[in-house]
Amino acid sequence: MLLGAHVSTAGGMRNAIVRAAEIDATAIQIFTKQPNRWADPPLDPADVESFRVGRLRGDIGFACAHDSYLINLATPDPILRDRSYASFQAELARAGALGLDAIVSHPGNATDGDHARGRAQNAALVESALKESDGSVKVLLETTAGAGSVLGSRFEELAEMIELVSSTWRDHVGVCVDTCHVWAAGYDIRDGYEAVVEEFARILGLDRLQLFHLNDSQKPLASKRDRHAWIGDGTLGDEPFRSIMRDPRFAAVPRVIETPKGDDHAATDRMNLERLRRLREG
């Protein structure tokens, strides 16, 4: 099973491989730059090579990046739109250089309240960026909690954005399901797991689900609050994670935790990953 965590690249990309080994990860997510800054510093070629070699030696079967939190491809502001697009292009380029499989991206925020415009703009800019890349890195739209004018909290929104991408590039776009986010958005994966899976299958198709972010939630169902918790320690409890870990339909889908780290990042990640492994067994 492809299972792991978001790991730090502090000190260089190669250190992500070391940190992955500390938690026995076979899947990882990283930032390729500081996520709260616009600066897009070039990658060190030697560091890139160390990362790529280390990934092969470390048996990491899936590696992705999460793009910058500043990017908003759905914004009505033309200046922010152009800055976001340039940053997104740079994210894809770095991911390609590192040999990553995918980049996870929030669908954006339609601050003018025009969600249809925001969805269409997001799809157009994602397609444009894919065309200008080498095509090796997929874009995974992440489910969101649904606060304010943020897009992507409903399966229908994600399906529309993907359908708006031309057929040539549509297979380069998938979905990352974040368990905390879908719970906050009102999908009851605790007491109605099968119904939610069936709804996703009907609206998007299970082949579009290409990554799980496994996180418990501090907040209740339909809260629209994005507050992650340790696995089994929040309002979701163990059951949805047991279901996901044991569901044969998702056997090949990578799973990455973004749970709170605590003082010792590796120890906390190991604890959460071990809980998931135990849930898989029974």
Chain segment 225-274, per-residue pLDDT in tens: 999 999 999 999 999 999 999 999 999 999 999 999 989 999 999 999 99
Chain segment 180-236, per-residue pLDDT in tens: 999 999 999 999 999 999 999 999 999 999 999 999 999 999 999 999 999 999 999
Whether pLDDT at 86 is above 80 = yes
Helices 14-22 and 45-57, interaxial angle, to 10°?
A: 30
What is the chain's mean pLDDT, rounded? 97
State residue 178's pLDDT score. Answer: 98
Chain segment 55-74, per-residue pLDDT in tens: 999 889 999 999 999 999 99
State residue 221's pLDDT score. Answer: 98
For range 78-91, the mean pLDDT? 98
| Eight-class DSSP state of 47 | H
State residue 229's pLDDT score. Answer: 98
- CATH number of 234's domain: 3.20.20.150
Residues 6 or more apart whose CB falls under 8 angstroms from that of 51 comprise: 13, 14, 16, 17, 98, 99
* Domain carrying residue 141: 3-281
Chain segment 122-173, per-residue pLDDT in tens: 999 999 999 999 889 999 999 999 999 999 999 999 999 999 999 999 999 9
Whether pLDDT at 282 is above 90 = no
In DSSP terms, which residues pair with 5 in a beta bridge? 28, 257
Q: How many independent structural domains does the chain possess? A: 1
Band (pLDDT 50/70/90 cuts) for residue 276 is very high
pTM metric for this prediction? 0.98
Closest to 27 measured CA to CA, from 13, 12, 6: 6
Largest CA-CA distance found in the chain, in angstroms, rounded:
52
State residue 52's pLDDT score. Answer: 96
State residue 94's pLDDT score. Answer: 97
